[in-house]
Protein backbone atom coordinates (compact mmCIF):
# COMPACT_ATOMS: atom_id res chain seq x y z
CA UNK A 1 0.00 0.00 0.00
CA UNK A 2 1.58 3.26 -1.19
CA UNK A 3 0.39 6.81 -0.55
CA UNK A 4 1.71 10.06 -2.00
CA UNK A 5 1.43 12.51 0.88
CA UNK A 6 0.52 16.03 -0.18
CA UNK A 7 0.84 19.26 1.81
CA UNK A 8 -1.41 22.29 2.37
CA UNK A 9 -1.26 26.03 2.07
CA UNK A 10 -3.19 28.64 4.02
CA UNK A 11 -5.29 31.06 2.00
CA UNK A 12 -5.18 33.75 4.65
CA UNK A 13 -4.69 33.23 8.38
CA UNK A 14 -6.25 35.41 11.08
CA UNK A 15 -5.38 34.94 14.76
CA UNK A 16 -8.56 36.19 16.40
CA UNK A 17 -8.21 35.21 20.07
CA UNK A 18 -6.64 32.99 22.67
CA UNK A 19 -8.12 30.30 24.89
CA UNK A 20 -7.51 30.00 28.61
CA UNK A 21 -5.23 26.99 27.98
CA UNK A 22 -2.92 29.08 25.77
CA UNK A 23 -4.07 27.80 22.38
CA UNK A 24 -4.68 30.52 19.81
CA UNK A 25 -8.01 30.79 18.00
CA UNK A 26 -7.64 30.94 14.24
CA UNK A 27 -9.55 31.53 11.06
CA UNK A 28 -7.98 30.19 7.88
CA UNK A 29 -8.75 28.46 4.63
CA UNK A 30 -6.81 25.22 4.20
CA UNK A 31 -6.12 24.15 0.63
CA UNK A 32 -4.40 20.82 -0.17
CA UNK A 33 -1.52 21.15 -2.64
CA UNK A 34 0.46 18.46 -4.43
CA UNK A 35 -2.54 16.35 -5.44
CA UNK A 36 -1.22 16.15 -9.02
CA UNK A 37 2.38 15.40 -8.04
CA UNK A 38 3.85 12.64 -10.20
CA UNK A 39 1.34 13.11 -13.01
CA UNK A 40 2.50 13.95 -16.57
CA UNK A 41 1.31 17.54 -16.01
CA UNK A 42 3.28 17.94 -12.78
CA UNK A 43 6.21 15.49 -12.65
CA UNK A 44 8.42 17.56 -10.33
CA UNK A 45 9.02 15.73 -7.01
CA UNK A 46 7.26 17.32 -4.04
CA UNK A 47 5.12 14.90 -2.01
CA UNK A 48 6.31 12.58 0.73
CA UNK A 49 5.86 8.87 0.03
CA UNK A 50 4.51 6.37 2.57
CA UNK A 51 4.49 2.62 1.98
CA UNK A 52 2.88 0.09 4.33
CA UNK A 53 3.89 -3.53 3.80
CA UNK A 54 3.63 -6.83 5.63
CA UNK A 55 6.61 -8.16 7.58
CA UNK A 56 9.70 -6.42 8.91
CA UNK A 57 11.72 -5.12 5.95
CA UNK A 58 15.38 -4.15 6.12
CA UNK A 59 16.51 -0.59 5.33
CA UNK A 60 17.74 0.03 1.80
CA UNK A 61 20.56 2.37 2.83
CA UNK A 62 22.91 2.79 5.76
CA UNK A 63 21.65 6.38 6.05
CA UNK A 64 18.06 5.27 6.67
CA UNK A 65 16.66 5.71 10.19
CA UNK A 66 14.97 2.62 11.67
CA UNK A 67 12.64 2.47 14.64
CA UNK A 68 10.52 -0.42 15.98
CA UNK A 69 7.35 -0.05 18.04
CA UNK A 70 3.80 -1.39 18.35
CA UNK A 71 4.63 -4.27 16.02
CA UNK A 72 5.60 -1.83 13.26
CA UNK A 73 9.03 -1.16 11.81
CA UNK A 74 9.52 2.43 10.66
CA UNK A 75 12.13 3.24 8.01
CA UNK A 76 12.79 6.93 7.29
CA UNK A 77 14.77 8.20 4.31
CA UNK A 78 15.01 11.40 2.27
CA UNK A 79 15.16 14.75 4.04
CA UNK A 80 16.54 14.65 7.57
CA UNK A 81 13.91 14.90 10.31
CA UNK A 82 15.37 16.71 13.29
CA UNK A 83 13.82 14.77 16.17
CA UNK A 84 14.19 11.44 17.93
CA UNK A 85 12.37 8.65 16.01
CA UNK A 86 9.93 8.02 18.84
CA UNK A 87 8.84 11.69 18.67
CA UNK A 88 8.29 11.61 14.91
CA UNK A 89 4.64 12.33 14.11
CA UNK A 90 4.44 9.18 11.96
CA UNK A 91 5.48 7.02 14.93
CA UNK A 92 3.13 8.90 17.26
CA UNK A 93 0.25 8.48 14.80
CA UNK A 94 0.87 4.75 14.52
CA UNK A 95 0.99 4.46 18.32
CA UNK A 96 -2.28 6.39 18.64
CA UNK A 97 -3.96 4.11 16.10
CA UNK A 98 -2.54 0.99 17.78
CA UNK A 99 -3.89 2.17 21.15
CA UNK A 100 -7.33 2.84 19.63
CA UNK A 101 -7.28 -0.56 17.93
CA UNK A 102 -6.51 -2.28 21.24
CA UNK A 103 -9.24 -0.28 22.99
CA UNK A 104 -11.86 -1.32 20.46
CA UNK A 105 -10.76 -4.85 19.61
CA UNK A 106 -9.27 -5.92 22.94
CA UNK A 107 -6.00 -7.06 21.34
CA UNK A 108 -2.90 -5.65 19.69
CA UNK A 109 -3.02 -4.70 16.04
CA UNK A 110 -0.11 -7.09 15.41
CA UNK A 111 -2.21 -9.99 16.75
CA UNK A 112 -4.51 -9.56 13.74
CA UNK A 113 -2.27 -8.13 11.06
CA UNK A 114 1.14 -9.50 12.01
CA UNK A 115 4.25 -7.37 11.88
CA UNK A 116 4.24 -4.42 9.49
CA UNK A 117 6.79 -2.06 7.95
CA UNK A 118 6.00 1.60 7.31
CA UNK A 119 8.56 3.31 5.09
CA UNK A 120 8.63 7.04 4.46
CA UNK A 121 10.61 9.04 1.92
CA UNK A 122 10.62 12.65 3.12
CA UNK A 123 10.46 15.32 0.39
CA UNK A 124 8.37 18.17 1.85
CA UNK A 125 10.59 20.57 3.83
CA UNK A 126 9.84 21.03 7.51
CA UNK A 127 9.58 24.38 9.26
CA UNK A 128 7.75 25.65 6.18
CA UNK A 129 4.11 26.07 7.21
CA UNK A 130 3.10 23.40 4.70
CA UNK A 131 1.81 20.89 7.24
CA UNK A 132 4.18 18.20 5.96
CA UNK A 133 4.61 16.46 9.30
CA UNK A 134 0.90 16.72 10.04
CA UNK A 135 0.09 15.21 6.64
CA UNK A 136 2.52 12.34 7.26
CA UNK A 137 0.80 11.63 10.57
CA UNK A 138 -2.72 11.69 9.15
CA UNK A 139 -1.84 9.62 6.10
CA UNK A 140 -0.32 7.09 8.51
CA UNK A 141 -3.67 6.91 10.31
CA UNK A 142 -5.44 6.52 6.96
CA UNK A 143 -3.10 3.72 5.81
CA UNK A 144 -3.43 1.77 9.05
CA UNK A 145 -7.18 2.28 9.05
CA UNK A 146 -7.45 0.95 5.49
CA UNK A 147 -5.19 -2.02 6.33
CA UNK A 148 -7.45 -2.73 9.33
CA UNK A 149 -10.56 -2.88 7.18
CA UNK A 150 -11.88 0.61 7.90
CA UNK A 151 -12.07 0.38 11.68
CA UNK A 152 -12.67 4.14 12.05
CA UNK A 153 -15.02 6.49 10.21
CA UNK A 154 -13.74 9.78 8.76
CA UNK A 155 -15.17 11.65 11.77
CA UNK A 156 -13.39 9.27 14.15
CA UNK A 157 -10.12 9.63 12.23
CA UNK A 158 -10.38 13.42 12.53
CA UNK A 159 -10.96 13.13 16.28
CA UNK A 160 -7.87 10.91 16.59
CA UNK A 161 -5.81 13.18 14.34
CA UNK A 162 -6.46 16.37 16.32
CA UNK A 163 -4.63 14.84 19.27
CA UNK A 164 -1.50 14.82 17.10
CA UNK A 165 -1.74 18.40 15.87
CA UNK A 166 -4.30 21.10 15.15
CA UNK A 167 -3.89 20.92 11.36
CA UNK A 168 -3.76 17.11 11.16
CA UNK A 169 -7.54 16.56 10.71
CA UNK A 170 -7.67 18.50 7.43
CA UNK A 171 -5.78 15.68 5.71
CA UNK A 172 -8.43 13.06 6.53
CA UNK A 173 -10.84 14.25 3.81
CA UNK A 174 -8.05 16.24 2.12
CA UNK A 175 -10.16 18.96 0.51
CA UNK A 176 -10.38 22.75 0.88
CA UNK A 177 -12.14 23.85 4.09
CA UNK A 178 -12.61 26.98 6.16
CA UNK A 179 -11.14 26.27 9.60
CA UNK A 180 -11.85 27.89 12.95
CA UNK A 181 -11.18 27.09 16.62
CA UNK A 182 -7.54 25.98 16.90
CA UNK A 183 -7.78 24.93 13.26
CA UNK A 184 -9.92 21.82 13.70
CA UNK A 185 -13.51 23.13 13.25
CA UNK A 186 -14.30 22.84 9.55
CA UNK A 187 -16.98 24.28 7.29
CA UNK A 188 -17.46 24.56 3.55
CA UNK A 189 -15.81 27.42 1.68
CA UNK A 190 -18.14 29.53 -0.47
CA UNK A 191 -15.60 31.33 -2.64
CA UNK A 192 -15.63 32.25 -6.33
CA UNK A 193 -11.84 32.62 -6.10
CA UNK A 194 -11.40 29.12 -4.73
CA UNK A 195 -13.75 27.77 -7.38
CA UNK A 196 -11.47 29.40 -9.95
CA UNK A 197 -8.45 27.61 -8.51
CA UNK A 198 -10.14 24.21 -8.46
CA UNK A 199 -11.77 24.36 -11.87
CA UNK A 200 -9.16 26.18 -13.96
CA UNK A 201 -5.99 24.56 -12.54
CA UNK A 202 -3.72 27.45 -11.69
CA UNK A 203 -0.06 26.99 -10.75
CA UNK A 204 1.71 27.52 -7.46
CA UNK A 205 5.26 28.82 -7.26
CA UNK A 206 6.46 27.73 -3.81
CA UNK A 207 9.62 29.25 -2.32
CA UNK A 208 11.37 28.79 1.01
CA UNK A 209 14.46 30.58 2.32
CA UNK A 210 17.00 28.78 4.47
CA UNK A 211 15.03 29.49 7.66
CA UNK A 212 13.34 27.35 10.27
CA UNK A 213 10.81 29.37 12.27
CA UNK A 214 9.61 27.66 15.43
CA UNK A 215 5.94 27.79 16.33
CA UNK A 216 6.83 29.47 19.63
CA UNK A 217 8.74 32.24 17.85
CA UNK A 218 6.00 32.74 15.27
CA UNK A 219 3.30 33.22 17.89
CA UNK A 220 5.44 35.36 20.22
CA UNK A 221 4.94 38.57 18.26
CA UNK A 222 1.25 38.16 17.52
CA UNK A 223 -1.54 40.34 18.88
CA UNK A 224 -4.86 38.50 18.36
CA UNK A 225 -7.61 40.65 16.89
CA UNK A 226 -10.54 40.48 14.52
CA UNK A 227 -9.73 41.80 11.01
CA UNK A 228 -11.71 44.71 9.57
CA UNK A 229 -12.84 42.40 6.74
CA UNK A 230 -13.42 38.86 7.96
CA UNK A 231 -11.33 36.24 6.22
CA UNK A 232 -14.46 34.31 5.28
CA UNK A 233 -15.74 37.40 3.42
CA UNK A 234 -12.31 38.20 1.94
CA UNK A 235 -11.82 34.78 0.30
CA UNK A 236 -15.27 35.07 -1.31
CA UNK A 237 -13.78 37.68 -3.63
CA UNK A 238 -12.14 36.73 -6.97
CA UNK A 239 -8.43 35.87 -6.76
CA UNK A 240 -7.49 39.14 -8.43
CA UNK A 241 -8.93 41.01 -5.41
CA UNK A 242 -7.22 38.95 -2.68
CA UNK A 243 -4.08 41.07 -2.52
CA UNK A 244 -4.46 43.44 0.40
CA UNK A 245 -7.51 41.78 1.97
CA UNK A 246 -6.65 38.06 2.31
CA UNK A 247 -3.92 38.38 4.91
CA UNK A 248 -1.70 36.12 6.98
CA UNK A 249 -1.20 37.70 10.42
CA UNK A 250 2.18 36.00 10.86
CA UNK A 251 3.63 38.21 8.13
CA UNK A 252 3.17 41.26 10.36
CA UNK A 253 5.26 39.76 13.16
CA UNK A 254 7.86 37.81 11.14
CA UNK A 255 8.62 40.01 8.13
CA UNK A 256 10.45 42.66 10.22
CA UNK A 257 12.62 39.92 11.74
CA UNK A 258 13.45 38.15 8.46
CA UNK A 259 13.85 40.59 5.52
CA UNK A 260 14.25 37.65 3.13
CA UNK A 261 10.54 36.85 3.55
CA UNK A 262 9.09 40.16 2.24
CA UNK A 263 11.76 40.18 -0.50
CA UNK A 264 10.56 36.81 -1.77
CA UNK A 265 6.93 37.86 -1.58
CA UNK A 266 7.59 41.00 -3.61
CA UNK A 267 9.60 38.95 -6.10
CA UNK A 268 6.55 36.72 -6.67
CA UNK A 269 4.33 39.75 -7.25
CA UNK A 270 6.92 41.32 -9.55
CA UNK A 271 6.84 38.12 -11.61
CA UNK A 272 3.08 38.42 -12.09
CA UNK A 273 1.53 36.46 -9.22
CA UNK A 274 -2.21 37.01 -8.90
CA UNK A 275 -1.84 36.50 -5.16
CA UNK A 276 1.17 35.82 -2.93
CA UNK A 277 1.42 35.00 0.77
CA UNK A 278 3.33 33.23 3.46
CA UNK A 279 1.69 29.93 4.39
CA UNK A 280 1.00 29.01 8.00
CA UNK A 281 3.65 30.38 10.32
CA UNK A 282 6.31 30.14 7.59
CA UNK A 283 8.90 30.07 6.36
CA UNK A 284 7.54 29.09 2.91
CA UNK A 285 5.76 31.56 0.64
CA UNK A 286 3.76 30.95 -2.49
CA UNK A 287 2.50 32.81 -5.52
CA UNK A 288 -0.56 31.80 -7.53
CA UNK A 289 -0.13 32.06 -11.31
CA UNK A 290 -2.54 31.47 -14.17
CA UNK A 291 0.16 29.97 -16.42
CA UNK A 292 2.76 27.29 -15.74
CA UNK A 293 5.63 29.08 -17.50
CA UNK A 294 4.97 32.29 -15.56
CA UNK A 295 5.21 30.33 -12.31
CA UNK A 296 8.41 28.63 -13.49
CA UNK A 297 9.92 32.01 -14.41
CA UNK A 298 8.98 33.35 -10.97
CA UNK A 299 10.96 30.55 -9.32
CA UNK A 300 14.00 31.39 -11.44
CA UNK A 301 13.72 35.07 -10.54
CA UNK A 302 13.33 34.44 -6.80
CA UNK A 303 16.15 31.85 -6.73
CA UNK A 304 15.48 30.64 -3.16
CA UNK A 305 17.30 27.69 -1.52
CA UNK A 306 14.15 25.59 -1.96
CA UNK A 307 11.43 25.89 -4.58
CA UNK A 308 8.67 23.79 -6.12
CA UNK A 309 6.30 24.13 -9.05
CA UNK A 310 2.87 22.74 -8.15
CA UNK A 311 -0.29 22.39 -10.18
CA UNK A 312 -3.38 23.40 -8.24
pLDDT digits (tens, 9 = 90+) for 80-125: 888 888 999 999 999 999 999 999 999 999 999 999 999 999 999 9
- What's the number of domains the chain is made of? 2
pLDDT at 18: 87
Does residue 178 share a domain with residue 32? Answer: yes
Does residue 166 share a domain with residue 54? Answer: yes
Does residue 164 share a domain with residue 27? Answer: yes
pLDDT digits (tens, 9 = 90+) for 222-238: 888 888 889 999 999 99
Residue 20 backbone phi and psi in degrees, to 5 = -65, -25
Q: Is 8 a catalytic residue?
A: yes
Return the CATH number at 200: 3.30.70.890
What is the average per-residue pLDDT within 41-60?
A: 91
pLDDT at 83: 85
Q: Are the beta carbons of 60 and 77 closer than 8 angstroms?
A: yes
Report the 10 Å Cβ neighbour count for 126.
16
Q: Is 233 a catalytic residue?
A: no
Q: Are the beta carbons of 70 and 109 closer than 8 angstroms?
A: yes
pLDDT at 68: 94
Does residue 179 share a domain with residue 291? Answer: no
Q: Which among 136, 167, 249, 265 is annotated as catalytic?
A: 167
Does residue 134 share a domain with residue 228? Answer: no
pLDDT for residue 244 is more than 90: no
Does residue 115 share a domain with residue 213? Answer: no
| Residue 310: exposure state from Cβ atoms within 10 A (0-12, 13-18, ≥19) | buried
Does residue 35 share a domain with residue 144? Answer: yes
pLDDT digits (tens, 9 = 90+) for 245-301: 999 999 999 999 999 999 999 999 999 999 999 999 989 999 999 999 999 999 999
Amino acid sequence: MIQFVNAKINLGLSVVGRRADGYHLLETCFMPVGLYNGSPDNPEPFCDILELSDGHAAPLSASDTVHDGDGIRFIFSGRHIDCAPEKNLVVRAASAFAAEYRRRQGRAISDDLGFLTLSMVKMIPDGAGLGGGSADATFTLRLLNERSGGLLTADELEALAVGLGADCPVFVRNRPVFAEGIGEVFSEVDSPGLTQLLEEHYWLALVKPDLHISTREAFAGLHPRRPVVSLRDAVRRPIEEWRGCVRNDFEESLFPLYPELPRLKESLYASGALYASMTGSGAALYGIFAEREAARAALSAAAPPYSALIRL
